[in-house]
Structure 1
């Protein structure tokens, strides 16, 4: 059953990568799929500590891009 999740997430990862490579939030969507993969994959559980750091980095990047700051 675990391989079904891996294959499905890999297909979603590829599809989101193809769909979102030129869209504004395509990279963020790719990040969400990767985060879901990390949460499901038992061998990658130690990486979960990096998810809040990555999220705050994304928030800081969005705030930095707005000219009203």
Structure 2
């Protein structure tokens, strides 16, 4: 099955570390990164979709972050 996650974080090195960790766990980038201004918090936010092919059957209880 193919899993999908959308990683998001403030525009700091924490976001880069989050994406790097996912890549090192076998996730692959899916599409282009995104960036937007969060008016309520007054800061920039980044996002990146990632996908991963794993064995098994998807259920809503699947822990995507644990994969």
TM-score between the two structures when normalised by the length of structure 2: 0.30
Q: Decide which structure has greater helix share.
A: 1
- For the pair shown, which has the larger CA radius of gyration, 1 or 2? 1
